[in-house]
A and B are shown apart, each in its own frame.
Chain A
Amino acid sequence: MDVIRRGVVATLVFAAVTGCSVFGGADEDGDPGERTVVLVTHDSFTMKPEVLDEFRNSSGIRIEVRKTGDAGALTNQLVLTKGSPLGDVAFGVDNTFASRALKEGVFVEYRSPDADKGSRRYAVDGTDRLTAIDVGDVCLNADPAAFAGKGIEEPTRFEDLTDPKYKDALVVQDPATSSPGLAFLLGTIAHFGEQGWQGYWSGLKANGVKVVSGWEEAYTQDFSGSSGKGPRPVVVSYASSPAAELGPDGRPRTRALLFTCFRQVEYAGVLAGAANPEDAKKVVDFLLSQQFQSNVPEQMFVYPVREDVPLPAAWQGVVLQPSNPETLPAADIDANRERWINQWRALVLG
Chain B
Amino acid sequence: MDQPVARARARLTPAGAGLAVAAALPLGFLAVFFLWPVVAILGLGLSSGSVLPVLTSSETWRLVAFTLGQAAASTVLALLAGLPVAFLLARIRLPGLALVRAAVLVPFVLPTVVVGLAFRVLLPAGGPVSIVLANAFFNVAVVARTVAGLWTHLDRRAEDAARALGASRARTFATVTLPALTPAVSSAAAIVFLFCATSFGVVLVLGGARYRTLETEIYLRTVQLLDLPGAAALSLLQLAAVLATLAVGAAARRRRETALALRGRAESARRPAGAEWAVVALALGVVGLLLVPVAVLALRSVSTSDGWSLAGYQALAGTGFPGTLEISGLDAAANSVRAATDATVLAMTLGVTAAVVLVALRRGRVRRASVELMDSALMLPLGVSAVTVGFGYLITLDKLPGDLRTSPALIPLAQALVVTPLVVRIVLPVLRSIDERLRAAAATLGAGPARVWREVDLPLAGRALLTAAAFGYVVALGEFGATSFLARPDTATLPVAIGRLISRPGELNNQMAYAACTLLMAVTVAVVLLVEWLRLPAVGEF
Interface set of A (CB-CB < 8 Å, partner B)? 2-3, 6-7, 10, 13-14, 17-23, 25, 27-28, 38, 40, 43-44, 46, 49, 64-69, 72-73, 76-77, 79-81, 84, 86-87, 100, 174, 176-177, 211-217, 219-221, 226-229, 237-238, 241, 244-245, 248, 298-301, 337-338, 345, 348-349
Contacts and interface: CB of A to CB of B under 8 A. Distances in A.
B510 A227 contact: yes
Contact of B502 (A40, A174, A216): A216
B220 interface: yes
28 contacts: A2-B541, A3-B535, A18-B337, A43-B499, A43-B503, A65-B488, A68-B406, A68-B485, A73-B223, A76-B225, A81-B398, A86-B405, A176-B220, A213-B209, A214-B113, A216-B117, A216-B205, A217-B120, A220-B117, A220-B502, A220-B510, A238-B505, A244-B321, A244-B506, A244-B507, A301-B504, A338-B225, A349-B209
Contacts of A211: 208-210
A22 B491 contact: yes
Contacts of A87: 406
A64 B506 contact: no
B313 to A, nearest CB: 15
Main secondary structure of the interface of A (DSSP, over half): mixed
Contacts of A18: 334, 337-338, 341
A22 B507 contact: no
Nearest to A337: B225
Contact of A13 (B322, B326, B507, B530): B530
Contacts of B531: 10
A79 B223 CA distance: 11
Contacts of B19: none
A18 B340 CA distance: 10
Contacts of A298: 322-323
Nearest to A74: B223
A195 B541 CA distance: 77
Q: Which of A38, A221, A348 has the most CB of B within 10 A?
A: A221
Contact of A66 (B120, B334, B391, B488): B488
A106 to B, nearest CB: 12
B3 interface: no
A314 B503 CA distance: 21
Interface stretch (B153-161, B187-195, B407-415, B445-453): B407-415
Nearest to B485: A68
Q: Which of A6, A22, A67 has the most CB of B within 10 A?
A: A22
Contacts of B323: 46, 298-301
Contacts of B462: 3
Q: Which of B323, B412, B489 has the most CB of A within 10 A?
A: B323
Contacts of A176: 209, 220, 224
Interface in B494-513: 499-500, 502-507, 509-511
A177 B342 contact: no
Contact of A69 (B113, B223, B504, B538): B223
A79 B222 CA distance: 12
6 A-B pairs with the lowest CB-CB distances in the bound complex, closest first: A244-B506, A174-B209, A2-B538, A299-B323, A227-B507, A244-B505
B533 A6 contact: yes
A227 B305 contact: yes
Contacts of A43: 484, 499-500, 503
A176 B490 CA distance: 31
Contacts of A40: 406
